[in-house]
Amino acid sequence: MKMPLVIIGSGHAGYTLARAFRQHDTSTPVVVLTEDGGEYYSKPQLSHGFGHQTSAAQLIQNSATGMAAELKIMVRPHTRVTAIDFAAQKITAGAAQIPYSDLVLAVGAKPFVPPIEGDGAQDILTLNNLEQYRRYFDTLNRSEHVLVIGGGLVGTEIAHDIAQHKRVTLVDIGSRLLERLVPEPVSQRLHSVMDQVTLRFGTVVARIDKVAKGYSVTMVDGVKLTVDAIICTAGLKPRLDLTAGLEIQRGIVVDSYLRTSQAHVYALGDCAEIEGQILPYLQPITLSANALASTLAGKPTPVHFGPLPVAVKTPRYPIQLAGLTQGSNLDWQINEGDDGLTALAHRDNKLVGYVTTGSRNGFSLLPTLMR
Ligand SMILES: Cc1cc2nc3c(=O)[nH]c(=O)nc-3n(C[C@H](O)[C@H](O)[C@H](O)COP(=O)(O)OP(=O)(O)OC[C@H]3O[C@@H](n4cnc5c(N)ncnc54)[C@H](O)[C@@H]3O)c2cc1C
């Protein structure tokens, strides 16, 4: 009997790979193992589901059983892989040992929560899967005042979203929202549109103590506030708990063919560091899955990434960006009208990135960035 292709993880990376592989090969058995419920859902919806009062159940587009039937694969939900024997080409999940012909790690990332003192710190919410969304949704619905830690992409999106129904304070160590993604004038416009959110910059949360009703939060600068819920969006770290025997740096190190340092073992998605880059977005994951599916079907194919467009889901002030938009050595040209703003980033007189806002759309500039 043919050994299966084994995929660990049922997120965008795992399922997109399984789907792409089935387009090349309908006979090799494919097994997807996942420690979660194996439901198919769109993770970007997590950051704007609360505003629409969409429950976790409503976000699910297909069940594990439905995915198995649709893709003609085996899906084993609630199955945590605990060890990999690279020499024998088999994995351990509970009492089971499963052999593989090829193994793909699509294990994603874990939310990073900075060290915070106090007995309330253990109740900090994070938002990186359906289970976490369930807790976030229920807790926020019982809350009046919510603290968001982190003003990057996800923190900005959820603060904007939650503020439709709740009082929100956002705290960030930097000096403005999206500091590492957009030039200052774009952040300033966003701040004025998000005037219903209290923004606190240049400080961090030092401790969180449980009080009779909610939490008392103390910042390092001594400022105190009382909130009912705290959500941390301070970033994600690739999951590296299955990597003994693999080369790792910030993520699982892979080349442009998504090959790890072990034969027949590949990685993609939020857990992978592809030629030095971690690209935790859907489009690079889809490109990686398509290339890897061809490779696994017998046609070695490297992945190529052009400049990746990113949309910030802040409907009151929509923002799109692509290419290089951070770094002090960029020369920005900004023009603004009633329909929005266009910021072009140049380096050595060459267009290297852009940010557009409002109804302006920078997609026509993408081919220029690719040159
Ligand atoms: C709130 C939010 C909003 C976002 N918005 C956007 C957006 O607008 N646009 C965009 O492009 N990107 C966005 N992203 C990023 C994008 O959603 C992710 O990059 C992508 O979904 C990651 O997919 P993944 O499959 O690599 O990881 P995950 O979805 O995290 O999947 C990892 C899988 O591995 C499984 N797993 C882990 N360890 C084990 C183990 N030991 N045994 C068994 N199973 C295991 C888990 O159960 C899970 O199924 C957003 C992310 C978040 C959190």
Tokens 């304070």 map to which residue?
169
Six token digits for residue 302: 């490297």
List the CATH code of the domain at 318-370.
3.30.390.30
78 CB contacts (<8 Å, ≥6 apart)? Answer: 34, 35, 36, 37, 38
Question: 239: CA distance to ligand 1 center in Å?
Answer: 11
What torsion do the CA atoms of 340, 367, 311, 177 make, to the nearest 10 degrees? Answer: -70
pLDDT of residue 369: 85
CA-nearest of 6, 31, 51, 22 to 314 is 51
Residue 148 contacts residue 38 (beta carbons within 8 Å): no
pLDDT of residue 306: 87
Which ligand 1 atom is the nearest neighbour of the CA of 269?
26
* H-type alpha helices, 311-363: none
Choose one of 15, 43, 104, 181 to mutate for the ligand 1 pocket test, by most ligand atoms within 8 angstroms of C-beta.
43
Tens digit of each residue's pLDDT (9 = 90 or more) over 164-198: 999 999 999 999 999 999 999 999 999 999 999 99
Banded pLDDT at 370 (limits 50, 70, 90)? low
Architecture of domain 5-109+237-296: 3-Layer(bba) Sandwich (3.50)
Closest CA to ligand 1's atom 50: 44
User: What does each C-alpha distance from 322 to 42, 153, 309 come to in angstroms?
Assistant: 21, 14, 4
pLDDT of residue 65: 98
User: What does each C-alpha distance from 297 to 6, 25, 61 come to in angstroms?
Assistant: 14, 6, 28
Question: 152: CA distance to ligand 1 center in Å?
Answer: 17
Choose one of 45, 47, 107 to mutate for the ligand 1 pocket test, by most ligand atoms within 8 angstroms of C-beta.
107
Tokens 């790979």 map to which residue?
17
**To the nearest whole percent, how much of the chain has pLDDT over 70?**
99
Which ligand 1 atom is the nearest neighbour of the CA of 38?
49
pLDDT of residue 166: 98
* Number of CB atoms found within 10 A of residue 34's CB: 25
Question: 114: CA distance to ligand 1 center in Å?
Answer: 20
Tens digit of each residue's pLDDT (9 = 90 or more) over 9-41: 999 999 999 999 999 999 999 999 999 999 999
Tens digit of each residue's pLDDT (9 = 90 or more) over 66-124: 999 999 999 999 999 999 999 999 999 999 999 999 999 999 999 999 999 999 999 99
Which ligand 1 atom is the nearest neighbour of the CA of 79?
43
Q: Where in the chain is the domain with CATH 3.30.390.30?
A: 318-370
Closest CA to ligand 1's atom 38: 107
Question: 169: CA distance to ligand 1 center in Å?
Answer: 26
pLDDT of residue 371: 61
Which ligand 1 atom is the nearest neighbour of the CA of 16?
25
Three-state DSSP class for residue 87:
coil
CATH 3.30.365.10 at 113-232, yes or no: no
